[in-house]
Amino acid sequence: MADNEIHTAWIVRKYIEQSKISGFDAMDYAQRRHEVGKLRKAELLRLQKSPNRNHNKQTKKNYRQTDAYIHLSHAERMSLIEELADLVGSWSFARLFGESINKIYFDPSRARMSADEQALEQLVSRFEQYLKIVAKSTNERNLFGALIHDNNETVSKKHTGLMKRFHKYGTFWTSIEKIIETPLFVNSELTSLVQIADLCCYALRRYFENGETDLLNRIKDRFDRKNSKIVGMRHFTDPTCQCMFCQ
């Protein structure tokens, strides 16, 4: 699976076929793939006779997205993601920036923008400020940064337009001087660091939605800080929130 995309959400879910195979953990990888493949082929044949086309379509998507990992048990797949998170956590040169918006508490009419537009503005502002601080502290005037964005046709034009506006008028928080151009849109399957960003997003989402801390604790030291306080991540939610970021 060396050349396959690391898509965390698809990797960590449980594959029901594996639980149906007796002695799955004792098999070698080739045997595991063969046995899971047999069950999946049988299920697709069964669904061909079903009138529920949406179920058939979704099942095919599930199989396609997880095919690269069916030879690994759930424990092995979780171990893979945990090791990657530990690796990210060890990158002292790296800084993480994030924005999580609880839409229940977000008012688009008051903000005069959508939630995803607000999130982009927040991320751009934090990254810009970070670059300015580093440039000043190192006396490096020619220090610049770029945004690399997972290629999504539904948001690419919107975010490109927003970034052009930020360059011209600034964000609510800062002028844009250190981030070059508009976001560069790339295919996540071909770009490993976008896959790492996906892992970090997954860790944040599981924390905010389910209270899971294991993955987040492995990467949290990489969030940008000022005087030991996390400033690279904002949680827009109920003002009484006591999560690790709101505190």
Q: Spell out where the chain has E strands.
A: 98-101, 148-150, 184-186, 225-226, 229-230, 233-236
Question: What percent of the chain clears pLDDT 90, i.e. is strictly above it?
Answer: 88
CA separation for the pair 233, 179 (Å, rounded): 19
CA separation for the pair 106, 238 (Å, rounded): 10
Residue 2 pLDDT greater than 70, yes or no:
no
Sign of CA dihedral 115, 116, 121, 125: positive
Helices (H) and strands (E) in the chain, counts: 10, 6
Q: What is the pLDDT of residues 185-212, one digit of tens each?
A: 999 988 999 999 999 999 999 999 999 9
pLDDT at 54: 85
CA separation for the pair 173, 125 (Å, rounded): 6
Q: What is the pLDDT of residues 148-189, one digit of tens each?
A: 999 988 889 999 999 999 999 999 999 999 999 999 999 998
Per the document, the length of the chain is: 247
CA separation for the pair 237, 209 (Å, rounded): 12
Residue 1 pLDDT greater than 70, yes or no:
no
Residue with more model confidence, 81 or 2: 81
Q: How confident is the model at residue 147 (pLDDT cuts 50, 70, 90)?
A: very high
Mean pLDDT over 207-220 rounds to: 97
The amino acid at 175: S
* Three-state SS at 212: coil
CA separation for the pair 157, 174 (Å, rounded): 22
Torsion angle of the four alpha carbons 105, 113, 167, 204, in this order, in degrees rounded to the nearest 10: 30
Compute the mean pLDDT over every residue in the chain, rounded to the nearest whole number.
94
| Number of Cβ within a 10 Å radius of residue 216 | 20
CA separation for the pair 90, 219 (Å, rounded): 8
Torsion angle of the four alpha carbons 120, 124, 126, 130, in this order, in degrees rounded to the nearest 10: 160
* Whole-model pTM over 0.75: yes
Mean pLDDT over 96-121 rounds to: 93
Q: What is the pLDDT of residues 33-70, one digit of tens each?
A: 999 999 999 999 999 988 888 888 999 999 999 999 99
pLDDT at 87: 98
Residue with more model confidence, 234 or 153: 234
pLDDT at 59: 95
Element housing 241 (H / E): none
Question: Going by DSSP bridges, is the β-strand pair 229-230/225-226 parallel, antiparallel, or unpaired?
Answer: antiparallel
